Amino acid sequence: VVNGLQEKEQPPQSKPLFGMFNAIPRRYDLINKLVTLGLDKKWRDLAARECLGAGPRHVLDLGCGTGDLAINIIRRARNYVAVTGLDYSPAMLDIANAKAEEAVGRGKITFTHAEAASLPFKNEYFDTVGISFAFRNLTYRNPVVNFHLAEIHRVLARGGRLVVVESSQPQSGFIRWWYHLYLKAYVFPVGWLLSGNRGAYRYLTESASRFFSPDEVRDMLKATGFKEITYRPLLWGAVGLTVATK
Ligand SMILES: C[S@@+](CC[C@H](N)C(=O)[O-])C[C@H]1O[C@@H](n2cnc3c(N)ncnc32)[C@H](O)[C@@H]1O
């Protein structure tokens, strides 16, 4: 499946979440900042640093949303690096384009409107694929999870890195209990009230509290063909930074 994807019939698209991501972008950044107390910026900083770790020439920010990881990578890069941001939500991409133009200048980042299950790129084109807070959407109870993983693997060069920053499951049962309470009693109402979209924030908080453990993510990546998988817990494991090599 990995390399033959283009020759086979087009995969199904993971449409169920699409309407939701096209409906919430207006206050998306503000809500993220409020529910993480501003820590989301720090977590993307760490991910951007990892994305640049092996001196890549081509980097993909997959599920780029409003473009923060892509912008962060361009700002940080010491040498030339071509950054592409991809998302299937035109509303998110509109914001990403405007933000990037202001932050780093017009045309510095290429934003692409596409579905992660059929990436419009050649095999092994990217040296790094970075995913900030979209990996859960691509994998958790997603009927086309295998297409998403196979596509990430296909577009990565041999030796290329996958960098994922995503919500995770704290190891300690005590912390996990508090974290799930915080999702239910704080993130859900704040997200719902500010976005006006109850369903979106119910999905986002429920999927976060049931999302895979670090070991389950590791197994999933191993089964896709990744190796040298490292995991770093952040905020007592409520969030995690995973780096894997093709
Ligand atoms: C929770 S947001 C994260 C956005 C951004 N990376 C960030 O750090 O804030 C998830 C993003 O992934 C995008 N997304 C989810 N599933 C996708 C898919 N199958 N194909 C392309 N984009 C997808 C959504 O439109 C949304 O912008």
Question: Ligand 1 atom 9: the closest Cα is on which residue?
Answer: 65
Q: How far is the CA of 223 from the centre of ligand 1 (A)?
A: 23
33-81 confidence digits (pLDDT tens): 888 888 999 999 999 999 999 999 999 999 999 999 999 999 999 989 9
User: pLDDT tens-digit profile of 9-30?
Assistant: 444 444 557 766 776 667 888 8
> What residues contact residue 144 under an 8 Å CB cut-off, 6+ apart?
11, 12, 13, 14, 117
Half-sphere exposure at residue 139, Cβ-oriented, CA atoms within 13 angstroms: 26
Q: Residue 135: pLDDT above 50?
A: yes
**Largest interatomic CA distance in the chain:** 49
| C-alpha 115 – ligand 1 centre gap (Å) | 10
Ligand 1 pocket by C-beta < 6 Å: which residues? 14, 17, 21, 63-65, 68-69, 87-89, 92, 115-117, 132-134, 137-138
pLDDT at 49 (0 to 100): 97
Ligand 1: atom nearest CA of 133 is: 3
User: What pTM was computed for the model?
Assistant: 0.91
